[in-house]
Amino acid sequence: MWFVPDLARIREKAAYRDGEAMMGAGSKAVVWGGVTFVIGLTLWSFAGDVETPVVTLTKVGVVLMVVGGLEAAYGLYRGAVGGK
């Protein structure tokens, strides 16, 4: 009989042994959505008087806040549903 190792369990043990905390896809989406939202909020709040030739940084900030909020909401949904 062939021995088939459980690769997921081996990776999980190696990650915890190396001091890394493993995060699910939903948690990562919530974290990165929050980071994107905060970057957008910072641009929207403090870059109003910076002139750029193509777009205003406040509009970029609003777009980043929307994208970050959607990504965080998707991560919360994915965490609630239990998707992988």
Q: Using pLDDT thresholds of 50, 70 and 90, give the confidence band for residue 82.
A: confident
Q: Which residue has the higher pLDDT, 57 or 3?
A: 57
Structure tokens at 2: 């062939």
- Residue found by looking up tokens 């190792």 in the block: 5
Domain ranges for the chain: 23-81
pLDDT of residue 20: 52
pLDDT digits (tens, 9 = 90+) for 14-56: 655 555 556 777 888 899 999 999 999 999 999 888 888 988 8
pTM for this entry: 0.69
**Any residues with CB less than 8 A from the CB of 23 and at least 6 apart, and which?**
31
